[in-house]
Chain A
Amino acid sequence: AQKITQTQPGMFVQEKEAVTLDCTYDTSDQSYGLFWYKQPSSGEMIFLIYQGSYDEQNATEGRYSLNFQKARKSANLVISASQLGDSAMYFCAMREALSGGYNKLIFGAGTRLAVHP
């Protein structure tokens, strides 16, 4: 069965510093997608970044980058120059292919990030 593991329940970082949030995954599929979402206290799940299993380059979106190590089955999120507004829950997710070309997202337990001034 496919699984996402986030081993850091909480992380602290000083404003303007970089932080890495860990994510490992387990799948037997050759083609899959990995996502990171941010969930502020308001509850909305905000899409941050996507990495396809066949993408050779690590994905980047502004201050977010995804450190994809396929052999180790890890997809860590790196946030550079942290801002106070980055304080939130962060979820790693994997797209699981279902029959008929449909799919669902499988989420990890999340990491709560606190950015300190």
Chain B
Amino acid sequence: DAGVTQSPTHLIKTRGQQVTLRCSPKSGHDTVSWYQQALGQGPQFIFQYYEEEERQRGNFPDRFSGHQFPNYSSELNVNALLLGDSALYLCASSLGPGDTQYFGPGTRLTVL
């Protein structure tokens, strides 16, 4: 049974560029949440997707957007990248919006 997968593993971008990160949930999971983890800190909630809609959002600007596809996979898009967007981006999936979240290996984004 495959766990949560994310791609790419690492990414280097320059300020002002746009980036798309991808996530495939565990088999049978229909809810995907995204978190940002800056160096030396705990993860911060970005948003949660269920039934192809953004259901809840953390304190992140509109530059952060996402999408969920009919197969429950998800994308995180970040526009107009800033140096402060450099972080580990974690995707988590769950059986439903209220269930235990299982995380993927993350995508490490570096903005130069």
Contact = CB atoms under 8 A, between A and B. Distances in A.
A106 B45 CA distance: 7
Secondary structure dominating the interface of B? strand
Contacts of A25: none
A44 interface: yes
Interface in B64-108: 88, 90, 92, 97-98, 100-106, 108
Interface residues of A, number: 27
26 contacts: A43-B88, A43-B106, A45-B43, A45-B92, A45-B106, A46-B103, A47-B102, A47-B103, A50-B100, A97-B98, A99-B56, A100-B97, A101-B97, A102-B55, A102-B56, A102-B97, A103-B97, A103-B98, A104-B58, A105-B33, A105-B92, A106-B45, A107-B42, A107-B44, A109-B41, A109-B42
